Amino acid sequence: MADLEPQESAESPRCANPDCQVAVDGRCIEGFPDTAECPQFGRIAIMPVAPAPGAHPAPSNGVAMQASTTLSVDEADDVVKERPSRVIAIAGPQSAGKTSLIAGLYDLFQLGQVGNVSFAQSFSLHAFEQAAHDSRAASRRTTPNTARTERGEVRFYHLELVDTDSGAVPSVLLGDRAGEEYLETRSNPLSAQEFPELRRADVLTLLVDGERLLDAGQRHNLRSEIRQTLHAFVEAGVVRTTQRLALVLTKLDVIRKAADGGERTFQGFDTLLAGLRADYGANFAAVESFQIAAQPSTDGAKRGENLDRLLAYWMAEPMRYRPASMVFDVPEAERYFDRLMALPKGAQ
Ligand SMILES: Nc1nc2c(ncn2[C@@H]2O[C@H](COP(=O)(O)OP(=O)(O)OP(=O)(O)O)[C@@H](O)[C@H]2O)c(=O)[nH]1
Ligand SMILES: [Mg+2]
């Protein structure tokens, strides 16, 4: 097979479908009259590329493809600029289940629609596969052993999803980073300003490790960690009142297996939620709670239980910032000039 070089310039309209000739003849292979509606149309094209020098030649019956991996902050910003999008920051202490949540959602899409949301495409298929493989293997072990997310830049998992009720097809960007970096903000709140996913988030998703909340010896520490981490985010000024907060209790399967059926743990979670609402509710447009089992290792919950509810919260139309000073009544008047009025102070 001859090696193929990308033939489009950076400015050309590009499509993730390598068979689509939209850049050449302007026709969308999926049949959309307006390419903006086509779920395949985007900046990041999956197209045949020349192998790196010294690399193994591509098999004769296949094509080499650009790695379909997580997106950097700049790449995620490109997606946000071009398409309707939902940016989701998934924060929480180490081992809370952040990467498992991402992998669990991907696993659910393998089976079909999740609630009223169906899968269209992803620029991160390989990364999802890797995360799902690790977490499936871990959930089969008696001692959990998921590959910990390494410290470093946030990585965004990309999904293009269809809301089958509204017809919206937003890009959903799920930010993942190592839990210990979030924890460190407690002693140095300003370090949260280095985490671009927090400012960009439409939904800040804060995970509470259900297994630790169940453990009487760890319960108190965990609740302090969550409170202090959110306090640090607020103090660093990286949350905004147009963001929504999701407080998510993970590992529901283990909690339900407790001798008291998890009653104490659920109460502890409700107390934590009530405290966060009282102290930080005014910093967010909404605060909702969820209880999930993304990758259960016991029969205490269904795999992916309640992820559909969390996904529906993520998919909601993001809040748009509207300065209060611009919200004022326009007087009704026949003559156009009579409708003019002095702007409120500070609105000029
Ligand atoms: N029982 C149970 N275990 C889970 C569930 N979800 C995740 N786990 C386990 O919890 C452990 C930690 O999960 P991760 O997804 O790696 O946690 P993380 O928050 O990404 O951790 P860091 O990358 O270290 O910040 C893994 O061993 C998972 O298998 C669940 O629903 N039930
Ligand atoms: Mg992780």
pLDDT tens-digit profile of 198-230?
999 999 999 999 999 999 999 999 999 999 999
Interval between CA 9 and ligand 1 midpoint (Å)? 42
pLDDT of residue 5 exceeding 50, the answer is no
Which residues does a 6 A CB cutoff place in the pocket of ligand 1? 92, 94-100, 135, 138-139, 144, 146, 148-149, 178-179, 250-251, 253-254, 293-297
The protein residue with its alpha carbon nearest to ligand 1, atom 6, reads 295
Q: Measure 89 CA to ligand 2 centroid, in angstroms.
A: 13
Q: Taking the CA atoms of the chain, what radius of gyration do you get in angstroms?
A: 23
By most ligand atoms within 8 Å of CB, the mutation choice from 146, 155, 252, 257 for ligand 1 is: 146
Mean pLDDT on 61-73? 69
Q: Which residues surround ligand 2, an ion (CB under 5 A)?
A: 98-99, 149
Q: How far is CA 121 from the centre of its chain?
A: 15
176, 155 contact by CB (below 8 A): yes
Q: How far is the CA of 149 from the centre of ligand 2 (A)?
A: 4
Look up residue 168 and give its two tokens.
């919206």
Ranges 6-10, 70-74, 82-86, 186-190: which has the least confidence: 6-10
How crowded is residue 344: how many other Cβ atoms within 10 Å of its Cβ?
Answer: 12
Compute, in angstroms, the gap from residue 17 CA to the centroid of ligand 2.
Answer: 30
Distance CA 239, CA 279 (A): 14
Task: Give the pLDDT score at 48.
Answer: 33
**How many Å lie between the centroid of ligand 1 and the Cα of residue 76?**
25
Measured in angstroms, how far is the CA atom of residue 92 from the centroid of ligand 2? 10
pLDDT of residue 7: 41
Q: Which tokens is 223 given?
A: 């609740």
Ligand that comes closest to the CA of residue 100:
1
Number of C-alpha atoms within 13 angstroms, CB side, residue 150?
Answer: 2
Mean pLDDT for 110-135 is 92
The ligand minimizing its distance to the Cα of 146 is 1
Lowest mean pLDDT segment, chosen from 91-95, 134-138, 244-248, 337-341: 337-341
> Of ligand 1's atoms, which has the minimum distance to the CA of residue 96?
19
Q: Do 66 and 58 meet the contact criterion of CB atoms below 8 Å apart?
A: no
Instruction: Give the pLDDT of residue 272.
Output: 98
The Å distance, Cα 282 to ligand 2 centre, comes to 29
Task: Please say if the pLDDT value at position 248 is more than 50.
Answer: yes
pLDDT at 34 exceeding the cut of 90 = no
- Which of 295, 299, 303 most suits a substitution to test ligand 1, by most atoms within 8 Å of the C-beta? 295
Residue 52 has pLDDT above 60, yes or no: no
Under the banding of pLDDT at 50, 70 and 90, the label for residue 332 is: low
DSSP label at residue 136: H
How far apart CA 307 and CA 105 sit, in angstroms, is 7
- Which ligand 1 atom is nearest residue 298's CA? 1
What confidence category does residue 247 fall into, taking pLDDT thresholds of 50, 70 and 90? very high
Whole-number mean pLDDT of the chain? 82
Q: Which atom of ligand 1 lies at the shortest distance from residue 149's CA?
A: 23
Which of these, 64, 62, 70, lies nearest to 48 by C-alpha position?
64
pLDDT at 27: 75
Amino acid at 193: Q
- Ligand 1 nearest-atom number relative to CA 92: 19
Q: What is the pLDDT of residue 59?
A: 37
Going from the Cα of 97 to the center of ligand 2, the distance in angstroms, rounded, reads 7
Domain 73-315, architecture per CATH: 3-Layer(aba) Sandwich (3.40)
Ligand 1 atom with the shortest distance to the CA of 100: 15
Give the strand pairing for 155-163 and 117-121. Answer: antiparallel
Ligand positioned closest to the Cα atom of 145: 1
- H or E stretch at 310: helix 307-315
Q: Which residue has the higher pLDDT, 72 or 39?
A: 72
Mean pLDDT value across residues 91-104:
96
pLDDT at 144 over 70: no
Q: How far apart are CA 26 and CA 138, in angstroms?
A: 47
Ranges of CATH 3.40.50.300 domains, the chain: 73-315
CB distance 117 to 315 below 8 Å:
yes
Instruction: Read off the pLDDT of each residue in 236-251 and give the average, rounded to a whole number.
Output: 97
pLDDT value of position 324:
54
Q: Which residues does 35 contact at the CB level (< 8 Å), separation at least 6? A: 13, 15, 22, 28, 41
